Amino acid sequence: MSARHRVQNPEPAAQQPRGGRAAKGAAVGNCRSDDHARAHRLPAFLLVATLLAGAACRSQAPPGPDVWAVVNGKEIRREEVEKLYRSQLALDQPPPPHEQALSMKLAILDELINNEILLERARKLGMEATDGEVEDKFIEMKAPYTEEEFQRQLRERELTVEDLKRDLRRQLTVQKVFNREVFSRVSVSDQEIAEFYEQNREQFNVREPQYRIAQIVVTPRPDPGLRNRKGDDATTDAEARRKAASLLQQIQAGADFNQLAMDYSEDPTTASTGGDLGYIPESALNNTDPAVKRIITGMRPGEVSNVVGMGGTYRIFKMVAREAAGQRQLEDVRTKEFICDTLRNRKEQLLRAAFLTIAREEARVTNYLARQVLESAGKLPASSSPAPAAGAPGGTTPPPQP
């Protein structure tokens, strides 16, 4: 969370008369004496300003090397920023260069500043997230992982369950504030939807057939990145065949396709969404096996395929919806929903930015990290605690380092 001080606007300077020298000459008697008086007053004014500036600088000294910002008297410490920074790094990628790492940390701190301002507002309004809400969100977030995988993710990012729940509480509370102060003000009228459609008709011209497909994927290989809710993972070809056949039987007996995908699909990118691949243009199917394309294009909405061997995996497809080529009409439910969502998002982003600007103007904020980075020409401030080893996720020694 960054800090921005409210700065009182200086008194507006007296407006200079037009005409330069001619205007000066208008006050013949007082011109010389006024200039002379100003000349004598100026050094004293500068001296006072210098003393005040020095006092201000001294008052802004950070409480300690590990305090990176203060928001309405509450400290935001280096440790919190560093921990969030490490959690955002890609585990399989080298750490970013020094300047990029500092930019990321400044952005994280800025977000923490915003959050703290909103959290204080939530406390005053009695809108903090409850323990039950936090626990529900925690269970939902943990669901796609096995316990072992979940704990491994925490260790690799140097987080604890308490860290995670604290962050969830903060997110849920901030969302409540936005819902009340910003999003509740947003509405989209039928007239706005119609105007958007008329101004963007070409955008709703579907040039080729599209298919909305869901899938369940089973692989014959163990996958440490497995994301399904049951943690179910076939490890041999025979196991994969049996698992796929069993899932198909359950679907044919009336089991919900999406729930089975979330529980058993071994595709890490679609299991959590019930196997949904979204709308796929017909031309994109040209990159798949011709037999698979024939199966998909020949299915009707709601229909489920048999088990299909594809690229060393076993898949079951479901045709969720089909869309023919041609102009989508405004009366189409999907068209209206898309336009409404687009306009709502635009308004929400605008009002959110305005709300945050006002909230920060009303807060007492000091961003010590930003000041120190500027004053040191881009170096990370020293810490009172031991720094991470060079090359470690939190390290600051030039390349390779965050």
Instruction: For residue range 86-145, list pLDDT tens digits in order.
Output: 888 876 678 899 999 999 999 999 999 999 999 999 999 999 999 999 999 999 888 777
Does residue 131 contact residue 141 with C-beta atoms inside 8 Å? Answer: no
Q: Give me the pLDDT at residue 156, please.
A: 82
Q: pLDDT at residue 23 above 90?
A: no
Q: Give me the pLDDT at residue 49, please.
A: 41
Does residue 343 contact residue 192 with C-beta atoms inside 8 Å? Answer: yes
- Average pLDDT for residues 320-326, to the nearest whole number? 94
Q: pTM value?
A: 0.63
- Average pLDDT for residues 305-313, to the nearest whole number? 94
Q: Give me the pLDDT at residue 20, please.
A: 42
Homologous superfamily of 1-6+51-204+331-402: Porin chaperone SurA, peptide-binding domain (1.10.4030.10)
Q: Give me the pLDDT at residue 34, please.
A: 45
Instruction: Work out the pLDDT band at 402, boundaries 50, 70, 90.
Output: very low
Q: Give me the pLDDT at residue 383, please.
A: 61
Tell me the per-residue pLDDT of 40-81, one tens digit each, with 9 for 90 and over. Answer: 444 444 434 433 444 444 445 668 889 999 999 999 999 999
- Average pLDDT for residues 133-161, to the nearest whole number? 86
Q: pLDDT at residue 313 above 60?
A: yes
What CA–CA distance (Å, rounded) separates 173 from 114? 12
Q: pLDDT at residue 178 above 60?
A: yes
Q: Which residues contact 277 (CB under 8 A, 6 or more apart)?
A: 212, 213, 214, 215, 270
Q: pLDDT at residue 14 above 80?
A: no
Does residue 53 contact residue 45 with C-beta atoms inside 8 Å? Answer: no
Q: Give me the pLDDT at residue 76, please.
A: 93
Q: pLDDT at residue 15 above 80?
A: no
CA distances from 251 to 97, 255, 260, 317 (A): 50, 5, 8, 11
pLDDT exceeding 70 applies to what percent of the chain?
A: 78
* Nearest of 58, 84, 67, 86 to residue 367 by alpha carbon: 67
CATH no. of 208-324: 3.10.50.40
- Residue 272 has which token pair? 């959590």
Residues of the chain with CATH 1.10.4030.10: 1-6+51-204+331-402
Q: pLDDT at residue 338 above 90?
A: yes
Q: Give me the pLDDT at residue 259, please.
A: 93
Q: pLDDT at residue 295 above 70?
A: yes
Q: pLDDT at residue 233 above 60?
A: yes
Q: Give me the pLDDT at residue 92, please.
A: 67
Buried b or exposed e, range 195-204, using 16+ CB within 10 angstroms: ebbeeeeeeb
- Phi, psi (degrees; rounded to nearest 5) at 177: -65, -45
Average confidence score pLDDT of the chain: 81
Of the two residues 355 and 24, the one the predictor is more confident about is: 355
What CA–CA distance (Å, rounded) separates 241 from 186? 51
Residues of the chain with CATH 3.10.50.40: 208-324
Edge-first strand order for the sheet with 74-77 is 74-77, 67-71, 365-367
